[in-house]
Amino acid sequence: MKDQPRPADMLEELGDKVIGHMDRLAVTSFRDALDEMIDFHRFLIEAYETHDDRGNPDSYAQMGDWQSMHVDWIRGYRRLFERAARYIGQENDFASSLVYVPYRLLPENALQYSNATTVEVLDGINIFIHRIEDWLTQKSTHERVEIGRSAAHVLAGSDKKAYTDVVMSLVGAWENTLGLVSSIYKWQRDSIGNTDKWSRFCASWPFLQRHLNNSAYLLAVAVWNEDEIGADHYSEMLLRWFEQITHELEDDYHLTKPLLTPDLFSDDWETVLEKLSPMMLHPGLSEPVPAGVFSAIIQNTMRDVIVIVAAIMEGWFLSKKQQTDIAPRIVARLLSRSVDDDDSLADQRAISFPELMLQFVRLETVGGRFASEGYGAWLDSVISSLDRMAERPVVSGRVFTPSTKHRRDDLHGVFLVFLLSRLGSDDGEIAIKDVSELTSRSDLFGERDASIRSLLYELRQLVSMLSQDQTGFYRKGVASLNPEILIGNASEKLISILERTISEIDQSRKERLLSLDIQKDKISSLSNKVDSSILSDNSLLPIFNGIRNYKSHEYFSSYTFTFNGIEKGYFTSPEMVQRSSNFDDYIKNGVTGYIQRVFWYEFANLSQSVIEVETEEAFAAGVKSRANQIFREGGRPVLLVCGWRDPSWIGKWFSWTSKPTAGLEVKRREDMETNLYIGTVNDIDVFRFRIKPNHALLFNSDLLESLTFGANEEGAITEAEFIPDETGLSGALKFNFNLKINWREREIFAFHYPSSDADNEY
């Protein structure tokens, strides 16, 4: 039986009709066929809509194999875009109509549809841009257009006009698509409270996120393809991006804004107000409103994306991936925020050095460096997607190191170029003051002091990179953006600014650390972990059979173990140290190790029956004789020696290459889970430990009955306390505990033998 046609097949047939009319240059029929295809696509989107278990909009179109069905539908327009590009200059109406496909596919009320489906509609523009860039490459020549300027694509007069018309149509359609966001997400359409307003703003974030990402992508593609016309229009479009939605929003004058990020969109309005409390400039006078907070976050995001795409493009130029100077010229425009329309509402103030410094703070403190979710992870994904298209020319077959970038720290070198190129005479003091004031408030940062520690690390990386430049990287970069800057003086000045900024932040952190109280609950939590480790410690079990650790409310001998040089920041709120992954284990192992040393010290002072032996044979006979005595009493004998060479014959006994000693049966037990175990001879388990040299101890394995620890009224075994040193920044961490070691009345045989300097032959 013939398979039923799939929606993608139906869309493909409708696309064939559209292509047929394009080939006939039948504009009216083309438009009718395109209308039919888009109407059917919209019908499919609506037909596949459903709701999840919580009643939220969902779509069956999101199902698929390695990609969703809806992505397949969007990619079905690729053939149309490609065919329309062929007719640029002959019939521009095809391309000028197709650029509105994303606009026409958007729902009237996006709140009732799956957000994933709505957002995927926007990716059609990324397909279109590559088709028209292909056309540009085929139609243009590579010529020098000005003296002293690198070669670029040059179009003939009619082709240039036709291509410019298509690019302007694309920009207009793309800006109109962005302008729909307030309408389809119903920002101001109903009389609703702040909670619902914020919810609608949050719902629109994925749409704005994708639109902004794709806007940057259009510019990056144009610059990579040395498309002067496209780069000029797309850079202006990106600079004016927020202008398309600003009339629906409002400015906020109540908040410290540099650290506002889209991570707040995952919270409800009440939670947002709580998180914004530290950022309030005038607490108690008035509170922020959703439109103002949303506006500030979106503007910050736009600025971040502009700087990121600028850094990526400048990186192409500096790493010789491109031979023309189109990248630094567009980057200079982005950093200057230069738009052609004087009536534009876009911010046209050039990005200053202090502003760049604050932007670096924000970029380096949003999310962890390797986080998989959140705003920081998204910025990293933007970097990866924009730079993925680029690689420098290499000879086929040669091994080379890929230069593509994946994370924010991959852009540090270019960011230094930006800082150097914007450095003015008085900018340093302003930047140091701005960054110092911002970082003096750890409560403004999402991860509190951890964010500031991360920033300090990255600032020190910048200093190191700038101090070690041996390639002329920064000289070339600064010359491409601001030839008037003297790189030598600027580098020294920037290093000084960065070092002073680091010093100011460090000093602020020290003062904050000194002012914070020790959190007793943190010390108690660590003490509880130590207690659990003590009670579960079974490191002595292989040697002392049946030993158990107990706790009792009786009073025993008191002991104290001290860790010196422990940073106070471990026990403050927020924590002000980079906690190592094994810190808790370090503390637990330190205390349990001390308890073992107490045990072995007491063990060494137990009464012993000394037996003098002169030879290996006498030693073996003596051990066998006393071991048999223990066996007859129902015990399990254990032999404790200093090591493999003390006594000298022990190594020979357990060597695989030596001939077995007469009268000894040697084997190894697989159930011994300790590296102290050497082997078993005549059913006597032999262990090594740091006992007195030239001595071996034989005893019944049940010699040790138990370790009993005194517990306080709350049942805690250890009582920990932190005592700051004279600096107040670190100190001693002390663990106090009471211990009683319970021994059974068993005889310990101490075999004393002569020392030997001879190496064992095995």
Q: How far apart are CA 275 and CA 263, in angstroms?
A: 11
pLDDT tops 50 at residue 760: no
For the residues 146-164, what does the mean pLDDT come to?
A: 73
Between 371 and 116, whose confidence is greater?
116
> pLDDT confidence of 345, banded at 50, 70, 90?
low
**Contact of 353 with 417, CB cutoff 8 Å:** no
Q: Which residue spans within 180-304 are E strands per DSSP?
A: none
Place of tokens 């907070």: 293
pLDDT reported for residue 3: 67
Name, in order, each residue with C-beta under 8 angstroms of 594's C-beta and a sequence gap of 6 or more: 559, 561
> What is the Cα Rg of the chain in Å?
37
For 124, list phi and psi in degrees, rounded to 5: -60, -30
Q: What is the DSSP letter of 68?
A: B
637 with 626: CB under 8 angstroms? yes
- Per-residue model confidence (pLDDT) at position 309: 96
Q: CA 64, CA 43: separation in Å to the nearest integer?
A: 19
Is the Cβ–Cβ distance between 512 and 565 less than 8 Å?
no
**What is the separation of C-alpha 259 from the centre of its chain, rounded to a whole number of angstroms?**
18
Q: What is the 3-state secondary structure (H, E, C) of 351-373?
A: CCHHHHHHHHHHHHHCCCCCCCC
Give the per-residue pLDDT at 268: 95
The answer to whether residue 594 is domain-embedded is: yes
Q: How many CB atoms lie within 10 A of CB 153?
A: 22
Q: Percent of the chain having pLDDT more than 70?
A: 92
Structure tokens at 150: 């690198």
Q: How many CA atoms lie within 13 A of 130 on its CB side?
A: 12
Q: CA 686 → CA 440, 544, 550, 656, 731, distances in Å?
A: 61, 12, 27, 16, 42
Of 66-75, 138-147, 218-227, 597-606, least confident by mean pLDDT is: 138-147
Q: How confident is the model at residue 759 (pLDDT cuts 50, 70, 90)?
A: very low
CA dihedral (545, 549, 554, 559) positive or negative: positive
Q: Is residue 659 included in any domain, yes or no?
A: yes
Q: How many Å apart are CA 198 and CA 269, to the nearest integer?
A: 6
253-305 pLDDT, tens per residue?
778 888 999 999 999 999 999 999 888 887 777 788 999 999 999 999 999 99
pLDDT recorded at residue 762: 32
Beta strand ranges found along 98-182 (DSSP E): 141-144, 151-154
Q: Percentage of the chain surpassing pLDDT 90?
A: 61
Burial of 336 (0-12, 13-18, 19+ CB in 10 A): middle
Q: Which of 199, 232, 222 is nearest to 130 (CA)?
A: 222
Distance, in Å, from the CA atom of 333 to the CA atom of 314, rounded to the nearest integer, reads 12
**Distance (Å) of CA 413 to CA 212, 335, 366, 428, 642:** 24, 16, 19, 19, 57
| pLDDT above 50 (res 421) | yes
How deeply is 146 buried, as exposed, middle or buried, from its count of CB atoms within 10 A (0-12, 13-18, 19+)? exposed
CB 369 within 8 A of CB 451: no
Q: Is the pLDDT of residue 610 over 90?
A: yes
Pairwise CA distance, residues 490 & 503, whole Å? 20
Tokens of 505: 């932040």
pLDDT tens for residues 544-575? Answer: 887 777 777 777 889 999 999 999 999 999 99
Lowest mean per-residue pLDDT among 349-363, 588-602, 670-684, 740-754: 670-684
Res. 148 pLDDT band, cuts 50 70 90: very low
Least confident window among 31-45, 168-182, 217-231, 649-663: 649-663
What domain range is 581 assigned to? 518-762
Q: Are 351 and 482 in contact (CB under 8 A)?
A: no
CA distance linking residue 725 with residue 712, whole number of Å: 28
Spatial separation of the C-alpha atoms in residues 172 and 99, rounded to whole Å: 9
Residue 741: CB partners within 8 Å, gap ≥ 6? 598, 599, 602, 704, 707, 708
Query: Measured in whole angstroms, how far is the alpha carbon of residue 295 from the centre of its chain?
Result: 26
Assigned domain for 561 exists:
yes
pLDDT in tens, 512-527: 999 999 999 999 999 9
Per DSSP, the residues of 629-646 read HHHHTT--EEEEESBTTB
With contact defined as beta carbons under 8 Å apart, do 409 and 306 qualify? no
pLDDT at 398 over 60: no
Check residue 1 and give its pLDDT.
Answer: 41
Q: What is the DSSP letter of 78?
A: H
Half-sphere exposure of 21 (CA within 13 A, CB side): 19
Highest mean pLDDT among 59-68, 463-472, 485-494: 485-494
What does the DSSP assignment read for 649-706? Answer: THHHHT-SSSPPPTT--EE--TT---TTEEEEETTEEEEE----TTEEEEEETTSEEE
Do the domain assignments include residue 475?
no
Average pLDDT (184-205) is 90
Q: What is the pLDDT of residue 655?
A: 79
Q: What is the pLDDT of residues 425-469, one digit of tens each?
A: 788 899 999 999 999 999 998 889 999 999 999 999 999 999 887
Q: What is the rounded average pLDDT for all residues in the chain? A: 88
Count CA atoms closer than 13 A to 281's CA, side-chain side.
8
Measured between alpha carbons, how far is 47 from 69 in angstroms, rounded to an integer?
A: 13
Domain CATH code at residue 703: 3.90.1690
**What pLDDT, on the 0 to 100 scale, is given for residue 179?**
94
| Lookup: tokens for 239 | 């600079």
Give, as one character, the DSSP assignment of residue 58. Answer: E
Q: How far is CA 198 from CA 184, 246, 272, 406, 446, in A?
A: 15, 16, 10, 32, 20
Structure tokens at 28: 């009216």
Residue 554's pLDDT is what? 75
488 neighbors 523 (Cβ within 8 angstroms): no
**Domain contains 212:** no
pTM of the predicted model as reported, rounded to 2 decimal places: 0.82
pLDDT band for position 150 (cuts 50, 70, 90): low
741/549 Cα distance (integer angstroms):
10
- The confidence score (pLDDT) of residue 470 equals 62
Instruction: Answer yes or no: is 579 within a domain.
Output: yes
184-193, 344-353, 371-380, 729-738: segment of lowest average pLDDT: 344-353
Residue 60 included in any domain: no
* In-domain check, residue 301: no
CA distances from 496 to 29, 412, 428, 433 (A): 68, 17, 9, 14
Token representation of residue 73: 């539908």
Query: What is the tally of structural domains in the chain?
Result: 1
Position 147 scores a pLDDT of 42
